[in-house]
Structure 1
Amino acid sequence: MTRLSVEMLAADPVEPITSAGHAQLGIAVLAGIAVIVLLITQFKLHAFLSLTLGSLALGAIAGAPLDKAIVSFTTGLGTTVAGVGVLIALGAILGKMLADSGGADQIVDTILAKAGGRSMPWAMVLIASVIGLPLFFEVGVVLLIPVVLMVAKRGNYSLMRIGIPALAGLSVMHGLVPPHPGPLVAIDAVGANLGVTLALGVLVAIPTVIIAGPLFSRYAARWVDVPAPDRMLNTTGGSPQTPAQRASEDLDKRPGFGATLATILLPVVLMLSKALVDIVIDDPENTVQRVFDVIGSPLIALLASVLVGIFTLLRPAGFSKERVSPLVEKSLAPIAGILLIVGAGGGFKQTLIDTGVGQMVLDISEDWSIPALLLAWLIAVAIRLATGSATVATVSAAGLVAPLAADMSTTHAALLVLAIGAGSLFFSHVNDAGFWLVKEYFGLNVGQTVKTWSVMETIISVVAGGVVLLLSLII
């Protein structure tokens, strides 16, 4: 979601499709989530079907006309797939290129050689944090997943020991540090200084990502001890392809480490360039900014990386032109289910929003008499739990508490933004498309995803919120 579209969302709230009261909406939310969890865990129904039925149950119990509930669900599904679907597909293609060319092996071997043993989770969180600074969460996930899975497989690590630090780095950057859309909207809403917010955001992010990443991953690996799923790795006949197998296919040559890293970082550089130009020029009509808005968009940046990868990854590995198209085709098959599940999660989220659940939480919280930073965090938490969207939680909470920033100092206004961002990350569950993205990529069931991803997100939210409150007392 672009900054412009988020601002439009904040400025133009959608009229609810039902006139249900707060009690009825609360029951509808609980019932909808219960239907999803029950169908998946007890009846073993596919998550796509479960989310679809749960959305319809939510709309029906909330008193929404069935046709409008269907429109809400399909609109959310379409919007989510439009936003992340192409990015997931391009990321899958790039991941397949990295795997089949040996580029992923090159990166994994280099990382294992430089940061083996206990330092590996710390290396992963550092890489994820740096890459996640300019990237949308979904883009960072699709870029890092091949590396995470290969490191876990080749290094014989628990998947959670490696995956949790990477996810923590990406999530913390997404929720707390501009130029991500959520923090930018909150900065505008409360009139905070972007530079001060960026500096304090990084300061809050450091202890948060350490605790939620490498430290928590020790426990997550004990709670959920699962191997890297073969279906998301480079496979031949269902098992990881070894260098010997690649050699038998005349693919024994690997692309260089520098070329591989440059290909992966190309979209990072393009998107970071766009963010910097937007901040420096800040004129949508400026020709330079418009050019960077195009080349730095996630779609173009990832597409450019894929096209460059043909020459930097596939050609050095011995791929002929005839082999590129089959590789792309094979890379798309494993993500079909992921796309549908992520889309259905977005549909469920949109149904929650359109039935007025987000507004219900805002109405209930208006009379809370607590400190401004804690109030902002709690409101964002409540909306996040109800809607599943960190961006919606950030936009709604920022709009509600913006008047409180009028008499705040520059640093406290920035901390108000960070309190909102921290709350927006609280306990991702079945109404969050990110929940299903992580579940499917890592091959987990719902319970395992809650024990790892959901708990990690909660730790991020609580630790970041605590650090923000602590900073408010000393600066």
Structure 2
Amino acid sequence: MEAIEPAYGTAVLLLIAAGAVALLLLLIMKFKLHAFVSLVLVSVVTALAVGFPVADIPDVLMFGFSDTLGSVALLVAFGVMLGRLLEVSGGAQVLADTLVNRFGERRAPLALGIAALLFGFPIFFDAGLVVFLPIILTVARRFGGSLLLYALPAAGAFAAMHAMTPPHPGPVAAADVLGGSIGVTMLVGIPVAVVAWYVGVMLVSRWMGARIHIPIPEVLFGEARDSNGRASGERGEDGAEAAPGRPAPSFGLVLLLLLLPLVLISLNTVTDTLVTAGTLDEGAGWVQFLSLLGTTPVALLITVLVAIALLARPRASSMSDVTATLDESLGPICSIILITGAGGMFGGVLELSGIGGALSDSLSDLGMSLIVQAFLISALLRVAQGSATVALTTAAGLIAGPVANAGLGDFQIALLVIAVAAGATVLSHVNDSGFWLVSRFFGMDEKTTLKTWTVMETTLGLSAFLVAGGLWLVV
């Protein structure tokens, strides 16, 4: 769908958006109304308030809901299946033990973050978080303390790489719009993302983890079962206690299962980047096939099938036991999927309301330094309508003209891309579907998510902007 012609000015649209966010928080935090119900209700009210024709409102609601649900449902379902198989087989524990033995208990959060930075180079934020979830939860369960100490370094690493470094689509699109070099943007973006992650995520997570205790959620950890599908200590039909489970998988096998989706998704990410750069022909059959294999749901489906064949089936009495384990894994995530989809619905209503275009028109000539302008435009668009991708691409389009007139080099354009990405990172809140994904995966209520995830995303974005701004002054 296309955005409607705004019925009100920018100020009124911003007030409506602010009122919608306030109403949503009031319903959830004050009146304890379920988040899914609250999001749908506020989406309907917002659609009416901004002036959508009543007959069009169902389509408006489905725009954001179906788009978000279509990408999240398969990803979360296959990801949690993989995580559950790793958990019940002992694979997640094997990986966690190896990680901790190599880096030590005190450096476990740092090790998780560094691993996520490496995995996050080609893999998208949500896919990386889903694949890494069993490792994060297993390490946190082993050592205790607040989940934030382990979850935020990894989640923040995926967020940093996804926002700021090619071959991810946001920075690639921004570099292309601004006429910069994707290669230079990558070479500049990676070190800036790493520095911003350490300052804005790693150090912040230590501070938060010491002050805010988040217990380990039960998203993956069901009742431990043996190879016959019986709970530990449960007696079989003959009255005998269940035998201990079969040997845990090797570290190499577990690593293979984690690297497989990384490699497959990389095929899609890299081919898309090369197509955008004009190196590959988009219509070539082999290019399309590699892109298909690297589509996130397909990559995770293949990984789940490999995990069933190599990890689960050899350790189960029958395929029925494996199916039961997979079936059990899906129950706890129904709420996660629906709430995340409803968050996309709310963001979609704001996107189609025309608030982004109206705000863009008002910000198109701010009369300040290009890099500051890039950051502020992107940040305001992010806060107003929720989507980081929309904020990033819209802001890049708005400053494309002044950038072309300024005759900037590739290095300066790369810094502008980082500034735009930094603005599109800050202040993730209730109109961002990613906010709800993190909230539900880590078992946090809305108030706690605002105090932790929203703050961390903001410190990450500000850190990246300050690094880019400092380099801008030097060159």
Place the TM-score, normalised by the shorter chain, in its bin: over 0.9
Q: Does 1:139 align with 2:127?
A: yes
**Separation in 1 of the partners of 2:357 and 2:243?**
58
Per-residue deviation at 1:17? 5.9
**Separation in 1 of the partners of 2:253 and 2:289?**
26
**Separation in 2 of the partners of 1:279 and 1:40?**
41
Per-residue deviation at 1:278? 4.0
Q: Does 1:184 align with 2:172?
A: yes
Q: Does 1:329 align with 2:327?
A: yes
Per-residue deviation at 1:413? 1.2
Specify whether residues 249 and 45 from structure 1 end up closer, same or farther in structure 2 by C-alpha distance, changes over 3 A only.
Answer: farther
**Structure 2 match to 1:9:** none
Q: Deviations over 1:253-287 (max 9, x none)?
A: 11111001101110101121333344454210223
**Structure 2 match to 1:267:** 261
Counterpart amino acid of residue 349 in structure 2: T
Q: Does 1:442 align with 2:436?
A: no
**Structure 1 match to 2:10:** 22
**Structure 1 match to 2:295:** 297
Counterpart amino acid of residue 43 in structure 1: F
Per-residue deviation at 1:115? 2.1
Q: Is the 8 A contact 2:60 2:348 kept in 1?
A: yes
**Separation in 1 of the partners of 2:5 and 2:323?**
45
Residue aligned with 1:315, SS: helix
**Separation in 2 of the partners of 1:348 and 1:323?**
39
**Structure 2 match to 1:472:** 472
Per-residue deviation at 1:86? 0.6
Specify whether residues 369 and 187 from structure 1 end up closer, same or farther in structure 2 by C-alpha distance, changes over 3 A only.
Answer: same
Specify whether residues 151 and 242 from structure 1 end up closer, same or farther in structure 2 by C-alpha distance, changes over 3 A only.
Answer: farther
Q: Does 1:33 align with 2:27?
A: no
Per-residue deviation at 1:225? 0.7
- In structure 1, runs of 5+ residues without a counterpart are 1-12
Counterpart amino acid of residue 104 in structure 1: A
**Structure 1 match to 2:149:** 161
Counterpart amino acid of residue 414 in structure 1: A
Specify whether residues 198 and 358 from structure 1 end up closer, same or farther in structure 2 by C-alpha distance, changes over 3 A only.
Answer: same
Q: Deviations over 1:32-59 (max 9, x none)?
A: 1111100100110110011111112222
**Structure 1 match to 2:458:** 458
Per-residue deviation at 1:224? 1.8
- What are the residue-to-residue correspondences of 1:24-423 with 2, within 5 Å? 24-236=12-224, 248=242, 251-280=245-274, 281-406=279-404, 407-423=407-423
**Structure 1 match to 2:238:** none
Residue aligned with 2:107, SS: helix
Q: Is the 8 A contact 2:83 2:220 kept in 1?
A: no
Specify whether residues 215 and 243 from structure 1 end up closer, same or farther in structure 2 by C-alpha distance, changes over 3 A only.
Answer: farther
**Separation in 2 of the partners of 1:109 and 1:260?**
12
Q: Is the 8 A contact 1:251 1:318 kept in 2?
A: no
**Structure 2 match to 1:426:** 426
**Separation in 2 of the partners of 1:332 and 1:314?**
17
Specify whether residues 242 and 325 from structure 1 end up closer, same or farther in structure 2 by C-alpha distance, changes over 3 A only.
Answer: closer
Counterpart amino acid of residue 13 in structure 2: L
Q: Is the 8 A contact 1:223 1:451 kept in 2?
A: no
Q: Deviations over 1:36-84 (max 9, x none)?
A: 1001001101100111111122222223233323321222101100012
Counterpart amino acid of residue 200 in structure 2: A
**Separation in 2 of the partners of 1:244 and 1:108?**
21
Counterpart amino acid of residue 295 in structure 2: S
Q: Is the 8 A contact 1:232 1:441 kept in 2?
A: no
Per-residue deviation at 1:223? 3.4
**Separation in 1 of the partners of 2:472 and 2:232?**
57
**Separation in 2 of the partners of 1:243 and 1:155?**
24
Q: Is the 8 A contact 2:146 2:213 kept in 1?
A: yes
Per-residue deviation at 1:327? 1.5
Counterpart amino acid of residue 135 in structure 1: I
Counterpart amino acid of residue 336 in structure 2: I
Per-residue deviation at 1:231? 4.0
Residue aligned with 2:15, SS: helix
**Structure 2 match to 1:3:** none
**Separation in 2 of the partners of 1:369 and 1:249?**
73
**Separation in 1 of the partners of 2:3 and 2:308?**
47
Q: Is the 8 A contact 1:125 1:166 kept in 2?
A: yes
**Separation in 2 of the partners of 1:354 and 1:223?**
39
**Separation in 1 of the partners of 2:338 and 2:436?**
10
Specify whether residues 448 and 333 from structure 1 end up closer, same or farther in structure 2 by C-alpha distance, changes over 3 A only.
Answer: same
TM-score, normalization by structure 1: 0.93
Q: State which drifts further: 312-321 or 99-108.
A: 312-321
Q: Is the 8 A contact 1:376 1:419 kept in 2?
A: yes
**Separation in 2 of the partners of 1:206 and 1:380?**
21
Aligned residues: 460
Q: Is the 8 A contact 1:56 1:66 kept in 2?
A: no
Per-residue deviation at 1:351? 0.2
Residue aligned with 1:104, SS: helix
Q: State which drifts further: 222-231 or 400-409.
A: 222-231
**Separation in 1 of the partners of 2:71 and 2:232?**
39
Residue aligned with 2:248, SS: coil
- In structure 2, runs of 5+ residues without a counterpart are 235-240
**Separation in 2 of the partners of 1:134 and 1:416?**
21
Per-residue deviation at 1:319? 4.8
Per-residue deviation at 1:243? 11
Q: Is the 8 A contact 2:64 2:345 kept in 1?
A: yes
Q: Is the 8 A contact 1:150 1:233 kept in 2?
A: no
Root-mean-square deviation over aligned CA pairs: 2.0
Per-residue deviation at 1:242? 13
Specify whether residues 326 and 216 from structure 1 end up closer, same or farther in structure 2 by C-alpha distance, changes over 3 A only.
Answer: same
Residue aligned with 1:268, SS: helix
Q: Is the 8 A contact 1:243 1:252 kept in 2?
A: no
